[in-house]
Structure 1
Amino acid sequence: MDLRSIKTFRTIVKHKSFQKAAEELAYAQSTITMQMKKLEQELGVLLIERGKNFQLTEAGRLLNAKGEVLLKDYDILQELMADFIHGESGDIRIGVMEPTASYRMPHVLTPFYEKFPKVNVNIQIQSSRALVEMVKKGEIDLAICTAPDEISTLHFSPLFTEDVALLMQNSHPLANRESVRLEDIEDEMILITTAICPFRRNLEKQMIDKGLKPKYRMEISNMLALKHYVELGYGLAAVPIIAASPPPPGTVLKPLQDFQKELTVGLMRNEEKSYTGNAMTYLIDLFYKELKHQDESLQKK
């Protein structure tokens, strides 16, 4: 059944005239007549009573009522598809690690939604390792995370570095120092995240490289929760500065003087996948512009 024929039928009903419908639709009257005959043949039922006075059959009244809904849905579908083709609508799936997801991403998306209000952004918050696998499998389109350990079809573009400092209670002996070295915390009870967390792995590697053996008191899976456990005196924690600024009450952030390798966070993409659409292009450009700007602003503070 041709939607064009349904539109013609409803135009005839609106004017109660084949001739006026032909004028509105810019068709020859013979075309209108032919479309109606074909539509009735396809449906196997008479739609318009043949006679001097215009009158719909019961089937015609049903088609007129339901056809309105059908055509409205079709118009909406056409508009959605046109928006999608031009990148004005659709879904963009992004994976983000913490603390970027909580402290940086909300500000980045503000100008994006001002420009593309119809686009739905789906944000998955996972570890960097999980995000790498999700990009590989096509479960997300992009990821903001640390670089993958192995070489693959994924492309990683650095965006910013996540600076780390040591969070401790104000009453801790190390709190009186201007800065702290890694050797100073070898015998301290350290709060850590899971083994796959890049922040933990970075801290462990640097301590081991210096011949130090860190002592762990508690493993907490959520990076953002560490500061609250430090606040209650469970131990020290190396945390991203952005996630602990300002420090919780009764705590203080201290620079790690010999902590040389801050974490580089970047944009992860699949080189085997094409990235098209105005919205996607704008969002990727926004990541480079806004996240870099945030990083520069933090470094100046």
Structure 2
Amino acid sequence: MDIRGIKTFQMIVKLGSFQRAADELQYGQSTVTMHIQKLEMDLGVKLLDRGKKLNLTEAGRLFLEKSDLLLKDYDFLSNTMIDFLKGEAGFIRLGVMEPTASYRLPQILAPFMQQYAKVQISIQIGNTTVLNQMLIDNEIDLAICTTPESGLSSAFEPLFVEQLGLLIPENHGLAAKDMIYLHDLQNEKLLITTSVCPYRKKLESSLLEKGGSPYNGMEIGNMAALKYYVEANFGVAVVPLITVTPPPKGTVLKAIQDLDSGLVTGILRRQEGSLSSSATERLITVLKKGLLAM
């Protein structure tokens, strides 16, 4: 069923004549006749009685009522696709890891969403391992995360380093030390995230390399919750500085002198050559600018 045929049918009904419809649409009358014949053939019903006076059949009256809704939907879809090609509409699936998801992304996205109100963004929060797999499985279009352990089908662009620090209760023995090293964490109750968390992996490898083990760990699944458990005197935690600036009441934030710089964080996407919408490319530009400025 051709959209032109439906528009021609509506114009004929509106003007009451094949010839007047042809003039309005700037078609030849034979073209208008052909549109209606094809439309009736596609539908398998007669829409118009062509006597001395042009009349709608019962099927024609029903089709006229329903076709108006169809054309409105078609026009909306057509305009949406035009906006999509211009980068002003789309549906972007964005994966983000903490703490960027909570502490950086909202203020970066706000002006973008105001400027491109027709662009829909779905945000999935997870660790780097999960987000990398979601990208491979085509469940997200891009991710903000740390450097993945593998991913030949993806490209990673580093943007900033997530700096880390040691959060301790103010009455803890380490609070009085001017300089803290990894070996000072021996036998301390460390509050840690899950085993797949890149922050925990970095801490564990650093402790092994620089003599900080053995240690006692208490696993807490949510990184954002770590500071509250430190505040409640459950132990100490190595956390991203952005999550504890300023430190919660009753806690002290310390640098660990021999802990290497924090975790490199950037944008993970499919290899160059993969198709991305104009809206996605615009979002990537905004994300880069916003993350680099923080």
Measured against the shorter chain, the TM-score band is over 0.9
CA distance in 1 between counterparts of 2:41 and 2:275 reads 46
Report the equivalent of 2:63.
63
Measured after TM superposition, the shift of residue 91 of structure 1 is 1.6
Measured after TM superposition, the shift of residue 96 of structure 1 is 1.1
1:1-301 alignment runs, 5 A limit: 1-150=1-150, 152-271=152-271, 274-294=274-294
Extract unaligned runs of 5+ from structure 2: none
Measured after TM superposition, the shift of residue 274 of structure 1 is 1.2
CA distance in 2 between counterparts of 1:42 and 1:208 reads 74
Measured after TM superposition, the shift of residue 86 of structure 1 is 3.1
Whether the aligned pair in 2 keeps the contact of 1:190 and 1:214 (CA below 8 Å) is no
CA distance in 1 between counterparts of 2:157 and 2:3 reads 48
What amino acid is the match of 1:247?
P
CA distance in 2 between counterparts of 1:69 and 1:118 reads 22
Extract unaligned runs of 5+ from structure 1: 295-301
CA distance in 2 between counterparts of 1:227 and 1:292 reads 26
Measured after TM superposition, the shift of residue 272 of structure 1 is 6.2
Whether the aligned pair in 2 keeps the contact of 1:153 and 1:272 (CA below 8 Å) is no
Q: Structure 2 length normalisation: TM-score?
A: 0.93
CA distance in 2 between counterparts of 1:168 and 1:94 reads 34
CA distance in 2 between counterparts of 1:123 and 1:287 reads 14
CA distance in 2 between counterparts of 1:38 and 1:222 reads 62
Whether the aligned pair in 2 keeps the contact of 1:204 and 1:214 (CA below 8 Å) is no
Match of 2:159, SS state, is: strand
Q: Structure 1 length normalisation: TM-score?
A: 0.91
Report the equivalent of 1:299.
none
CA distance in 2 between counterparts of 1:109 and 1:176 reads 41
What amino acid is the match of 1:234?
F
CA distance in 2 between counterparts of 1:290 and 1:214 reads 40
Cα distance per residue 1:84-138 (max 9 Å; x no partner): 3333222211211111111111122123213322111111111111112222222
Whether the aligned pair in 2 keeps the contact of 1:103 and 1:243 (CA below 8 Å) is yes
Whether the aligned pair in 1 keeps the contact of 2:167 and 2:252 (CA below 8 Å) is yes
CA distance in 2 between counterparts of 1:250 and 1:36 reads 80
Cα 1:219–1:206 shift into 2, 3 Å:
same
RMSD, aligned α-carbons: 1.9
Whether the aligned pair in 2 keeps the contact of 1:191 and 1:217 (CA below 8 Å) is yes
Measured after TM superposition, the shift of residue 219 of structure 1 is 0.5
Match of 2:50, SS state, is: coil
Higher alpha-carbon deviation: 170-179 or 237-246:
170-179
Equivalenced residue count is 294
Higher alpha-carbon deviation: 234-243 or 263-272:
263-272
